[in-house]
Chains A and B, each alone.
Chain A
Amino acid sequence: DQQVKQNSPSLSVQEGRISILNCDYTNSMFDYFLWYKKYPAEGPTFLISISSIKDKNEDGRFTVFLNKSAKHLSLHIVPSQPGDSAVYFCAASARSGNNRKLIWGLGTSLAVNP
């Protein structure tokens, strides 16, 4: 059973517009959330994270919003650029003793069209 769900396998956006990628989770013990970007044949690149004590975190063109009551987070990219075209993974973690394990979604493929 997927604890982290990215229900949109793909998204297409025009350059300069906003890209919104969504992620839902089921485990209320998750307290730290991350977004990674992955180009083909490369490893995931860390983008931005958010702790469950916050509802928003911003870094340049990237903003992550967390709605704990809905168990939902979203990544906003404004403005979108062609170089943003990649697969975006949402990941969540909960503390287990001294350890943390990342639980990953299946990814959303974003295409930004010039």
Chain B
Amino acid sequence: EAEVAQSPRYKITEKSQAVAFWCDPISGHATLYWYRQILGQGPELLVQFQDESVVDDSQLPKDRFSAERLKGVDSTLKIQPAELGDSAMYLCASSLAVGLGTQYFGPGTRLTVL
């Protein structure tokens, strides 16, 4: 069964350091999403790509967060510098195309900032 791959699964870093997360969507899925989830809340959309183009990054804190999907396949989300409040689960999801509602999620990266 096709799955969304993410790495690393866990990351511990100190504040002010840089961190990066990687995501490989389900093969053939044109739309890729990065979410942040804090315990007790639903996922919060950070950025959405259609192929290599950003469709929505309105909730991405652009002073410290960046995301790219250079070849329209896998994607990297970076935080520089990390802050204590960035501790959360970072989730990647993909869907077949923009405009289709069902998104499929990877296992997530649990980030702890000390």
Contact = CB atoms under 8 A, between A and B. Distances in A.
Interface of A: 4, 32, 34, 36, 41-46, 49, 89, 91, 93, 95, 98-102, 104-107
A102 B37 CA distance: 14
Nearest to B10: A41
Contacts of B89: 41
Overall SS of chain A's interface: strand
A102 B103 contact: yes
Interface stretch (B40-48, B61-69, B70-78): B40-48
A44 B4 CA distance: 11
Given A98-B98, A99-B56, A91 B42 contact: yes
A45 B99 contact: no
Contacts of B103: 46, 102
Contact of B99 (A89, A95, A106): A95
A91 B93 CA distance: 14
Contact of A43 (B55, B56, B98, B107): B107
B82 interface: no
A43 B101 contact: no
A43 B4 contact: yes
Nearest to A109: B40
B15 interface: no
Given A99-B56, A101-B45, A102-B45, A44 B105 contact: yes
Contacts of A107: 40-42
A53 to B, nearest CB: 13
Given A95-B99, A98-B99, A100-B98, A43 B105 contact: yes
Closest 4 CB pairs of A and B: A104-B42, A43-B105, A32-B101, A43-B108
Contacts of A32: 101
A106 B40 contact: yes
Given A32-B101, A43-B105, A102-B45, 13 more contacts: A36-B105, A41-B89, A41-B110, A42-B107, A43-B4, A43-B91, A43-B106, A46-B103, A93-B101, A99-B48, A100-B98, A100-B99, A107-B42
